[in-house]
Amino acid sequence: MTDALTAPAQPVGADLQVRSSRTTLALLALAAGGFAIGTTEFVTMGLLPEVANGVHVDIPTAGHLVSAYAAGVVVGAPVLTTLGSRLPRKRLLLWFMGAFAVANVLSALAGSYGWLMAARFLSGLPHGAYFGVASLVAASLVPPHRRTWAVSMVLAGLTVANIVGVPLTTRLGQTYGWQWPYAVVGGIALVTVLAVWRWVPFCPPDGGVTMRSELSALRRPQVWLALGVGTVGFGGMFATFSYISPTMTGLGGFTTSAVPLILALYGVGMTAGAMLAGPVSRVGLLRGIMLCLVVIAALLFAFGPAVQASQALALVAVFLLGLLPSVMVPMLQTRLMDVAHEGQALAAALNHSTLNIANALGAWLGSVVLAAGLGYEWPSRVGGILAVLGLGVAAWSAGLERRHA
């Protein structure tokens, strides 16, 4: 028998390369779930006219399907994360993505507006919980200084969905029926289950984490302020993007066949933004968030006039609409994990609850101004006001932090 002391040593470089490869595969598996979630969340917006016709309602009423999905995220993120606080994180990811697959298949099979509303609500339930747990798992796989990058890689699945998944499924829905995109998402979710099972390492629950410790995050004012930034600040983006298809065809003069390409451009902007999140975070998380909100507000106030002015400016505006919020999301996620202390999983999941409250708020406010008879340039104006309010909440958080320091 060979003595362990005389056995040839494994090269350190090779060992690091193996670990790096395993981390990459694990992050890809987690990002695949983000890809499925991003596709189902945004394809409804791209197919809003087709879905409205399919279930025999008008476009403002069909916009409530976006709100139903968002409501599912808002409810599911805190409830599922808290209930699963003592379970291994890998097992939670498998359960969340399996439930997500089933709910999207039910969306594809829905034959009426009421059933589709219910299925979209169920589809949203695992959304925030999945991203919250996946963000913690991703951050645990890398050194501390690369946490924002690892979180952004998980969220990059969502952004890549807007380059590939949303445009392709939008075209699929336009050609073969609005039900098919939801069926495809169900299949992607099942592939994600297999990838997570194969590549994500076993992640035992934190022995000190209980339902009570997770809920303790809700006693911290900075957690609520960070959630407020997400709720109000991102409502403006969703007020605009929820009606992107009729806005670009009605105001910008684009054809319906151009909508998938416009959605792909939005996805390119989202992916570029996710890549920039790490470098921008070096100026400070809260400072970077405030900077993003200033630019987002300016963009939203200019969005309607830009779309009306020329198609070239419209495309630039869509690209920036994807880029700027995507720079901000990983920074907001990381800040929540920092200020939540022992309630990190719940706080990370609640970030997606607040983003989907923003989704519901933005879609609803957009439907209000449209139902009032105002044009498609008005949802982005409402969005600009929301971004300014979000900047005010971020400034409040910064002032509170300075006083405590």
pLDDT digits 0-9 by tens, 289-347: 899 899 999 999 999 899 988 899 999 999 999 898 888 888 887 888 778 776 677 77
Q: Who wins on pLDDT, 195 or 375?
A: 195
The whole-number pLDDT of residue 125 equals 93
Residues 6 or more apart whose CB falls under 8 angstroms from that of 157 comprise: 30, 31, 32, 33, 34, 35, 36, 37, 38
CATH class, domain 23-404, is mainly alpha
| Closest listed residue to residue 153, CA positions, set 138, 142, 140 | 138
Nearest to 271 by CA among 313, 315, 351, 327: 327
Length of the chain: 405
For residues 185-212, give the mean pLDDT: 81
> What share of the chain has pLDDT > 70, as a percent?
90
pTM of the model: 0.70
Return the pLDDT at 7: 40
Query: What is the distance between the terminal CA atoms of the chain, rounded to a whole angstrom?
Result: 62
Higher pLDDT, 173 or 144: 173
Cβ neighbours of residue 383 under 8 Å, at least 6 residues apart? 235, 236, 237, 238, 239, 240, 300, 303, 362
Which band of pLDDT confidence, cut at 50, 70 and 90, is reported for residue 118?
very high
